[in-house]
Amino acid sequence: MLRNGPLSLTLPGTWRLVSRIDVAADGERRVDPALGEDPIALLFYDRSGNFAAQFMKRDRSAVAEVVGGPAKNNSRAKDGYDAYFGSYTVDDAAGTVTQKLAGALSKENVGHVLTREMTVEGDELEIQLETTSVEGEPVTRTLRWKRVG
């Protein structure tokens, strides 16, 4: 979407996670047990088409193994941590970013291609995607980020 200019021009930078919220079809919030309700995360997009993301459960002192299948349209955290990197392309007209994972913490995520709806307004980035909870329930995930670099 066009907000402060094309996404391809406003996206590059370093982003710190502000919130990560999953909502089910009934409108109720769901908490991802792998990363918790308030994970710490950084997201990097450079102007050459490279990106990297790292997420960590805020309190990893008592991380339990999360049982369940892989989430649809998403990567899998391990021990309260998730990380992946690769290349990205932007479709300015659609307001989407497609990421190709060259490397990931979870080996089953290597090679995945993930497309996300994104908007940038000032120093705020919003990413929205359809995924599933660890139980397989469809959820809409909204991630809000603040530019830090």
Question: What is the pLDDT confidence band of residue 1, given thresholds at 50, 70 and 90?
Answer: very low
DSSP letters for the chain: --SSS-HHHHS-EEEEEEEEEEEETTS-EE--TTT-SS-EEEEEE-TTSEEEEEEE-S--TTPPPPPSPPPTTS---BTTEEEEEEEEEEETTTTEEEEEEEEESSGGGTT-EEEEEEEEETTEEEEEEEEE-TTS-EEEEEEEEEE--
- List the domain boundaries for the chain: 7-147
- Are residues 129 and 141 in contact, defined by beta-carbon separation less than 8 angstroms? yes
Q: What is the pLDDT of residue 68?
A: 55
In the predicted model, is pLDDT for residue 144 greater than 80?
yes
pLDDT tens digits, one per residue of 75-118? 778 888 999 999 999 999 999 999 999 999 989 899 999 999 99
Residues contacting residue 59 through CB under 8 Å, at least 6 positions apart:
36
Q: What is the pLDDT of residue 91?
A: 97
Predicted structure pTM score: 0.89
CATH of region 7-147: 2.40.128.280
| Interatomic CA distance for residues 69 and 38, integer angstroms | 22
pLDDT tens digits, one per residue of 41-79? 999 999 999 999 999 999 888 766 655 555 666 677 888
